[in-house]
Chains A and B, each alone.
Chain A
């Protein structure tokens, strides 16, 4: 199957106009020139990725002080539902992303694993704060803290901070959205599509 970029370059159609300096940029999609304007048909997966990234529903999972910053991000001043994280579900069955806000202790680790297993694909994980990234301030000399949530579940985005400011959490959410838009989910990789 030929790549869309090769089709584009062969037909020498540029949506930016022949003389513009962006005429040589490959356009990631098929362009069908019509009389009134251009109708854009993208790859279906890119539409799906766009839709998925703009409506990630988080699972409420705050164990420690980072949960306060997460609540603050969800509240009125740094609203995260502007970015599509509108509905924060308490059940993992209806959630897309789990934001691990807080310390994971040895007693909580199997619970976290079970919640992650209960989430349907495609699911993403954000490790918020120092404790979820590496154990944080509890890295040394503690008998009960898991030194990083990625010992339990695979993590997509890490946020530094103790606790990270709401703007940092929003930046991480936007980064996750870009990661979803640019990358392929596990099923897409399995089906042989995507970069």
Chain B
């Protein structure tokens, strides 16, 4: 499906979707609370069949955090970017590791570096940093006076 066709079909699935312009892929903002059902629909729906989640990241805008999911379909060869805004003080979102297995490690990394809690994740613990690390380094307000030399 082309980008325009996706833009028409997506609001049928998600009524409250908001599109962001620019970039080669369609970027859609969804509610973090409704993410799980939307993700299941995106995987199983005949017209979409997004079976390959190829990137899960988190972005720290200073007022809030945004989870970014990059999806593509190996059957139809179309791609989609989903963004979900999270509250900074309590960043929680449903896990999609039971829909796309690769999200297990990607969500562990997002938890490790940003502190985003993924509800019902099978094994949510630190992935890259040492287990006794204190804090979430990739947040903008992370301070480490010993290691970090400020420019």
Question: Chain A residues in contact with chain B, CB under 8 A?
Answer: 106-107, 139-145, 147
Contacts and interface: CB of A to CB of B under 8 A. Distances in A.
A141 B105 CA distance: 26
A143 B149 contact: no
A142 B137 CA distance: 9
Interface residues of B, number: 10
Interface stretch (B30-38, B67-75, B115-123, B140-148): B140-148
Interface centre among B130, B137, B144, B147 (most CB of A within 10 A): B147
B130 A140 contact: no
Contacts of B147: 106, 142-145
Contacts of B149: 139-141, 147
B150 interface: yes
The main secondary structure of chain B at its interface with chain A is loop
Contacts of A139: 149
Contacts, number: 23
Contacts of B148: 140-143
Nearest to A107: B130
B151 A144 contact: no
Interface of B: 129-130, 137, 142, 144, 147-151
B33 to A, nearest CB: 32
B142 A143 contact: yes
Contacts of A142: 147-148
B82 to A, nearest CB: 29
Given A141-B148, A141-B149, A143-B137, 18 more contacts: A106-B147, A107-B130, A139-B149, A140-B149, A140-B150, A140-B151, A141-B150, A141-B151, A142-B147, A142-B148, A143-B142, A143-B144, A143-B147, A144-B129, A144-B137, A144-B147, A145-B147, A147-B149
Contacts of A144: 129, 137, 147
